Structure 1
Amino acid sequence: MPSFVGYMRRIRRHLRRGADKLDASQPEFTLRSVLSGLLIGCLLCFTNLYFGLQTGWISMMSLQSALIGFLLSRFFPVPISPQENVVLQTVAVATGTMPLAAGFVGILPALGLLDEERDGTPPLNLSWIAAVGWSCAVAYFGVFLSPPLRKQVIIEEELAFPSGTATAQLISVLHRIPPPETSTKRRRGYRQLDTEETIDEEPVIEASAETAETPIEVEDTEIATQEGWDALIWSFSASGVMTLAAYFFPVVFSIPLFGNALAKEWLWTFTPSLSYIGQGIIMGFPTTLSMSLGMLVGWGILSPIATHAGWAQGPVGDMATGARGWILWVSLAIMCADSLVSLLPVVWEVLYLKLWLGGAKTDDGTEQDHEGKESETEDRLVPMRWVTWGLGASVVLGTVLVWLVFGNEGIKPWATLLGFVMGGVLSIFGVRALGETDLNPVSGLGKISQLFFAWIQPGNIVANIIAGGVAEAGAQQAGDLMQDLKTGHLVRASPRAQFFGQLIGSTLSIIVTTTAYTLYNRAYQIPGPSFPAPTAYVWLGLARLLRDGQLPEHCGEFMMGFAALFAAVAALKAYSVRRGARFAKWIPSGVAFAIGFLNTPSFSLARLIGGIIEHVYYTRLGRDRGGIRLIIIASGFVLGEGVVSIISLVLRTFGVGVASCWGCGHGMCGGCPA
């Protein structure tokens, strides 16, 4: 603590605008930036947990955090500096993404789905203190892994990290400073972010999503003050009011599209949620289009085929015997094929170009000179001794905590230790893929870890899920934090300040996330009608498949066919992205396509509306003239439902039910009897 307090006193410094030398007259790591980041992060934490349990979707919201932080700073006597805003959004992201990093939207619900007769172990529902222990076990490994990865992928290789670059561009607009220099970054496959549209980060199962297309008109600063604040308030309020209306009158969020009979039998309803429309705006039209194509194929073609052919004999919505469980396997095959093929170029670079040839080379075959690329002074960097001790302590502490929570019957300590090691290796691949394509393929990385642990500890489903979660947590967290470090590098914020912000945000989020999940679990059935937690079935389903090798009838043929198709699509997309082709973002995303299978049509349709709004708005006005007003409105929509859902949670906890079940004859309204 003495070193931390001392640093708090020393780190009040800032960069002279447009200069390379530091100016100590401006603040950077301050109490107000940390507290504001924690406030925004807590709201994001509840929001991400809410939407993650519903659809498996988690958003980093780094760009939105910087924007909301700037709007909040208008109430401060002295506006925050650009570097304070970087620290603020770093704290917010670290706090808000813990539902994913600690597996609250996938791993823990999957353990609760265990069946003693089928799996040999009863369901594992962790108590509050046990969930805190599990969270502490996986919360810090990725944070300590980030500094050495930063040196490699941001300083030496100068990877793009489009979402982090987009956030830096937005911060430069809001604070009226010269835009960050990105056009000088040259390497194979890099696209000039100041002259071309970047690829939106794709909606990965249990992954963060961030828009990478950021308008950079200086006039937007005026919009982002009073007009921006007004837009955020009314969009937040509208989404919140609609959420409360849907709680008391559930049909508001469960409108039958083709009549009650078709809605009840085939689950075709529409949820006109402003938050999902806002997510669609943030995701962008190409991604929502891929998701909607998956919805049409999964729910409009494969689901009826499987049902009428007798391959899925249970109710359509049943994840075990119905068509929803049948198409889940096809979705899993698509995700694995897409993620693994997307990783191949990265694996080639790391294993062959880096390790075998001994270093990165330029296009003419000469070694790159990495000397002197680090622009930060030693007192602003994270010392390697901190990294070494932190990694060691986080691994040892994590192994012990996992053993205390799950015991030897759950997972052996050596397997947990191996999970951390594998998480470090997978983080290298995931971070590099994220830096080049804005896609962190954690769904594929998680499946790789499950495959590995099925080999070294066969037959143990609990160990397979837990060890896979440990490995995925490190890769996911390191990737999210690397986007923030890219933003800090471009705006010249202190990496050490961001490191402290990450630690603070992750620590608080352990308590916030665990408490929120415990409350949701008491008030609702998870998985259940209101919170189906689709990614839990993905984790458990693959673990069972690796143990038993049994698939639903005729499912294997469709899995192989769709896997081959989307392996080819992923290869084409990866090649197009590396070549800088403008049409690359219109090539369907396999992971987004697969999400359309996992979620019922209601969620995908609402997101498609948001994607269409985003496309039409910026097509008519242009990205420069369109500005950031639409991003502000979308952020308000998303936060409105996520925050007001806390009120719904309290009402449900105290036994306050719905006011009317009128219109809910299809039996798909949350809170109403089926």
Structure 2
Amino acid sequence: MSRYFGPSHGHISAAQPEFTLTAVFIGLGIGCLICFTNLSLGLQSGWISMMSIQSALIGFLISRMLPTPLSPQEIIVVQTTAVATGTMPLAAGFVGILPALGLLSEEKDGQPPIHLTWLSAAAWSCAVAFFGVFLSPPLRKQVIIQEELPFPSGTATAQLISVLHQLPPPDTTTRRRRAYRAVDDAEVIETPAEIDEVPLQEEGHEQDERERDLVQHEGWHDLLWSFGFAGTLTLLAYFFPAIFTIPLFGAYLAREWLWYFTPSLSYIGQGIIMGFPTTVSMNLGMFVGWAVLSPLSKLTGWAPGPVGDMSNGARGWILWVALGIMCTDSLVSLLPVVWEYASDALKPVRRHYTPITDNHEEPTKRDHEDETEDRLVPMSWVGVGLSTSIVVGTILVWIVFGHEGIKPWATVIGFFLGGLLSIIGVRALGETDLNPVSGLGKISQLLFAWLQPGNIVANIIAGGVAEAGAQQAGDLMQDLKTGHLCHASPRAQFYGQLIGSSVSILVTTTAFTLYNRAYQIPGPSFPAPTAYVWLGLARLLRDGQLPENSAKFMAGFSLFFGILSVVKIYCSSRHQARPGYAKWFPSGVAFAIGFLNTPSFSIARLIGGVIEYVYRTRYAKKEGGGDIRLVVIASGFVLGEGVVSIVSLLLKTFDVGVVSCWGCGHGLCGGCPAVG
């Protein structure tokens, strides 16, 4: 049965359901795969992907195999459910908060390590899983309907869905696929409309036709071979660990300075998704951190321990420099949003003292809501949901961590702070496509260092509660932007978000428990670098003590990237239509990520970034179909390794060992008994 757009605002007929069991089950299936992938990659590198475009692509390909293909609105439910399911490892702190609690030391912190059981971890996840979901409807009203922020990734996904379903393009002038396509805003180019309008439309139509044909005819082929290739390589690396620890720069540099290469296709796929500028920033940080500062701290005696030691080695020393860069860059990036809020707050005062003349009439705020009440989420649901999630969440946190871990009143403050920070994070995400949850979490830690001084556990937990709301609300807002542009029911998306988050509690908790049983976390295979950031800042706020001479470098790099971030914001604001050279300014957060991970993580991602750049500039236009084929292949690489990592996890759990440790003489192969 065909589905069609109705006459009013492009809505589909009421007879055509959007929230269907088929869409939900497909979304949950894709989301579970993304969840395992994100948990694995997050524990390895501290970086996860929303995978909204990839979810829509895979959902469309699966839909083509059904007797009745899914409608565009059902695909949006698929995507929304998948994203809510797949991003829980970060939203609930499984890649940072929980590993940080496991690093606590009785000697340093007066608190033994906290390792949650499956039931306790599930309770913690349940405590923070729904607050951001219930924040989404009111935030949608403000930032999507009234302010019409672009949300580039959400807009790109809407554009892709429209292309695949042969629909008119979304009602927006912004067409950007993050890390793939630059902003192409025809309305801001000062050229006569009668000259440019038709060629632009014809060119866009031909491009859309090529993209659609490419996905429909070659999409499954590209996805399956990339998935299979990445999965096969991952399984081989389990039985022959040296495959993923190649001493590319020599055994000495690999053994003593951790310079080796991991040819992971998942890392390469992530580099393709991140894009060339971001991977370059990450590798600049990797070079400065591991080729300059690491040897400097080691040879001068500032970090006398083994290079990879996080307590007294070079890796722990450069962690503080990375922490300074991340905090400064994240906080500075929030300044434009804070300034805009302050300006909005002062408008009533200025209006009171500034007479309004006939020639300066006050503009009225537009409301572009085109959904009927039965398709929106009632505010009564939001009120009840937020109240319940705060009360139940506070009780669950108190049950899991006890009264000495964090006071119930402090948890309540953490939820309210998370709500305020969510507004800032969503605004930043809507304007820049980057959600600065790292900086927002640090703000929460700073506050709780004052509210509960000396309590490391409370500091980390409160930061995690606040970050969870900001992270989840931001991710879901991208999906709601997609739904708004494609006229999907916000209520259907809300249902998908609730179901995805609920299922992900069980999936993520189970996966994390299995990883903890099979591997040492943090450890050689899963270093969990962001755990050290959380714990390091909590200790710094309590003690005020830094490793020898690290404070000078921390201050210097923080100042440099603070100034650089200001310049980047200024240049971007002056050239909003076409970012130009501003996008090539190093990203402070990506630069710091290069410090946190060993060189192998960054080098593989740079390969992906280079592939993306070369393909986009040299081959995409010649081949036709733009960059969509590369998106599909990158998705196969990431998902292939993520899914097969589940197989590796089961093999490890049942004590199935490696076949050969040949080539592991440098002592870096996590799977070999002599190393692990």
Who is 2:466 aligned against?
A: 471
1:368 Cα offset (Å): 4.2
- What does 1:598-609 correspond to in 2, within 5 Å? 598-609=596-607
2:25 matches 1:35: yes
2-side partners of 1:149 and 1:528: how far apart?
Answer: 39
Who is 1:157 aligned against?
A: 147
Who is 1:369 aligned against?
A: 364
Q: Percent identity?
A: 71
1:622 Cα offset (Å): 4.5
1:318 Cα offset (Å): 0.4
What is the CA deviation profile of residues 313-364 of structure 1, one whole-angstrom value per residue up to 9, with x for unaligned ones?
Answer: 00000011100000000000000010000001101111x2222224999xx9
1:571 Cα offset (Å): 1.0
Question: Are the equivalent residues in 1 in contact too, given 2:174–2:185 (CA < 8 A)?
Answer: no
1:556 Cα offset (Å): 0.2
1-side partners of 2:3 and 2:557: how far apart?
Answer: 54
2-side partners of 1:556 and 1:164: how far apart?
Answer: 40
1:577 Cα offset (Å): 2.4
2:209 is paired with a residue of what secondary structure?
coil
2-side partners of 1:240 and 1:195: how far apart?
Answer: 42
1:24 Cα offset (Å): 2.7
- Which amino acid letter does the alignment assign opposite residue 591 of structure 1? V
Who is 2:430 aligned against?
A: 435
- What does 1:111-126 correspond to in 2, within 5 Å? 111-126=101-116
CA spacing shift, 1:533–1:540, aligned 2, 3 Å: same
1:69 is paired with a residue of what secondary structure?
helix
Question: Are the equivalent residues in 1 in contact too, given 2:9–2:370 (CA < 8 A)?
Answer: no
- What does 1:38-77 correspond to in 2, within 5 Å? 38-77=28-67
Question: Are the equivalent residues in 2 in contact too, given 1:353–1:359 (CA < 8 A)?
Answer: no
Who is 1:658 aligned against?
A: 658
What is the CA deviation profile of residues 504-535 of structure 1, one whole-angstrom value per residue up to 9, with x for unaligned ones?
Answer: 00000000000000000000000000000000
1-side partners of 2:618 and 2:368: how far apart?
Answer: 41
1-side partners of 2:521 and 2:457: how far apart?
Answer: 18
CA RMSD of aligned residues (A): 2.1
1:184 Cα offset (Å): 8.6
Who is 1:456 aligned against?
A: 451
CA spacing shift, 1:438–1:626, aligned 2, 3 Å: same
CA spacing shift, 1:345–1:406, aligned 2, 3 Å: same
1:575 Cα offset (Å): 2.0
Who is 1:390 aligned against?
A: 385
Question: Are the equivalent residues in 2 in contact too, given 1:27–1:81 (CA < 8 A)?
Answer: no
2-side partners of 1:83 and 1:620: how far apart?
Answer: 35
1-side partners of 2:76 and 2:57: how far apart?
Answer: 11
2:640 is paired with a residue of what secondary structure?
helix
Who is 2:338 aligned against?
A: 347
Who is 2:356 aligned against?
A: none
> In terms of Rg, which structure is larger?
2
- What does 1:74-93 correspond to in 2, within 5 Å? 74-93=64-83
1:25 Cα offset (Å): 4.4
Residue of structure 2 aligned with 1:357, choices 347, 362, 387: 347
Question: Are the equivalent residues in 2 in contact too, given 1:170–1:216 (CA < 8 A)?
Answer: no
2:664 is paired with a residue of what secondary structure?
coil
CA spacing shift, 1:118–1:73, aligned 2, 3 Å: same
Q: Which moved more, 1:93-102 or 1:576-585?
A: 576-585
Residue of structure 1 aligned with 2:553, choices 551, 558, 561: 558
Who is 2:529 aligned against?
A: 534
2:137 matches 1:137: no
Question: Are the equivalent residues in 2 in contact too, given 1:15–1:26 (CA < 8 A)?
Answer: no
Question: Are the equivalent residues in 1 in contact too, given 2:150–2:174 (CA < 8 A)?
Answer: no
2:289 matches 1:291: no
CA spacing shift, 1:196–1:253, aligned 2, 3 Å: farther
1-side partners of 2:594 and 2:349: how far apart?
Answer: 40
Who is 1:301 aligned against?
A: 292
1:261 Cα offset (Å): 1.2
1:569 Cα offset (Å): 1.1
Who is 1:9 aligned against?
A: none
CA spacing shift, 1:172–1:503, aligned 2, 3 Å: same
1:28 Cα offset (Å): 1.3
CA spacing shift, 1:367–1:591, aligned 2, 3 Å: farther
2-side partners of 1:20 and 1:594: how far apart?
Answer: 45
Who is 1:416 aligned against?
A: 411
- What does 1:176-195 correspond to in 2, within 5 Å? 176-183=166-173, 193-195=184-186
Who is 1:280 aligned against?
A: 271
2-side partners of 1:274 and 1:184: how far apart?
Answer: 31
CA spacing shift, 1:659–1:192, aligned 2, 3 Å: closer
Who is 1:209 aligned against?
A: none
Q: Which moved more, 1:58-67 or 1:224-233?
A: 224-233
1:14 Cα offset (Å): 6.2
CA spacing shift, 1:21–1:253, aligned 2, 3 Å: closer
- Which amino acid letter does the alignment assign opposite residue 139 of structure 1? A
2-side partners of 1:64 and 1:609: how far apart?
Answer: 20
Question: Are the equivalent residues in 1 in contact too, given 2:146–2:367 (CA < 8 A)?
Answer: no
CA spacing shift, 1:535–1:368, aligned 2, 3 Å: farther
- Which amino acid letter does the alignment assign opposite residue 425 of structure 1? L
1-side partners of 2:593 and 2:450: how far apart?
Answer: 27
Residue of structure 2 aligned with 1:96, choices 86, 89, 105: 86
2-side partners of 1:295 and 1:17: how far apart?
Answer: 55
Question: Are the equivalent residues in 2 in contact too, given 1:14–1:27 (CA < 8 A)?
Answer: no
1-side partners of 2:313 and 2:540: how far apart?
Answer: 17
1:182 Cα offset (Å): 1.0
2-side partners of 1:25 and 1:110: how far apart?
Answer: 50
2:587 matches 1:592: no
What is the CA deviation profile of residues 411-449 of structure 1, one whole-angstrom value per residue up to 9, with x for unaligned ones?
Answer: 000000000010001001100000000110011001000
CA spacing shift, 1:170–1:392, aligned 2, 3 Å: same
2-side partners of 1:665 and 1:359: how far apart?
Answer: 70
What is the CA deviation profile of residues 3-43 of structure 1, one whole-angstrom value per residue up to 9, with x for unaligned ones?
Answer: xxxxxxxxx98634995354234331111110000000000
- Which amino acid letter does the alignment assign opposite residue 80 of structure 2? T
Question: Are the equivalent residues in 1 in contact too, given 2:210–2:625 (CA < 8 A)?
Answer: no
2-side partners of 1:81 and 1:193: how far apart?
Answer: 27
Who is 2:209 aligned against?
A: 218
- Which amino acid letter does the alignment assign opposite residue 240 of structure 1? G
2:497 matches 1:506: no
Question: Are the equivalent residues in 2 in contact too, given 1:17–1:178 (CA < 8 A)?
Answer: no
2:257 matches 1:266: yes
Who is 2:581 aligned against?
A: 583
1:192 Cα offset (Å): 5.9
Who is 1:207 aligned against?
A: none
- Which amino acid letter does the alignment assign opposite residue 40 of structure 1? I
Gaps of 5+ in 2: 176-181, 189-205, 352-358
Who is 1:488 aligned against?
A: 483
2:586 is paired with a residue of what secondary structure?
coil
2:378 matches 1:380: no
CA spacing shift, 1:42–1:548, aligned 2, 3 Å: same
Who is 1:669 aligned against?
A: 669
Q: Which moved more, 1:240-249 or 1:19-28?
A: 19-28
Question: Are the equivalent residues in 2 in contact too, given 1:14–1:24 (CA < 8 A)?
Answer: no
1:217 Cα offset (Å): 2.2
2-side partners of 1:353 and 1:524: how far apart?
Answer: 51
What is the CA deviation profile of residues 240-293 of structure 1, one whole-angstrom value per residue up to 9, with x for unaligned ones?
Answer: 000000000011000002211110000000001111000000110000000000
Gaps of 5+ in 1: 1-11, 186-190, 198-214
What is the CA deviation profile of residues 430-472 of structure 1, one whole-angstrom value per residue up to 9, with x for unaligned ones?
Answer: 0000000011001100100000000111000000000010001
Question: Are the equivalent residues in 1 in contact too, given 2:244–2:263 (CA < 8 A)?
Answer: yes
1-side partners of 2:638 and 2:394: how far apart?
Answer: 36
CA spacing shift, 1:44–1:359, aligned 2, 3 Å: farther
Q: Which moved more, 1:328-337 or 1:621-630?
A: 621-630
Q: TM (normalized to structure 2)?
A: 0.92
Residue of structure 1 aligned with 2:165, choices 166, 175, 178: 175
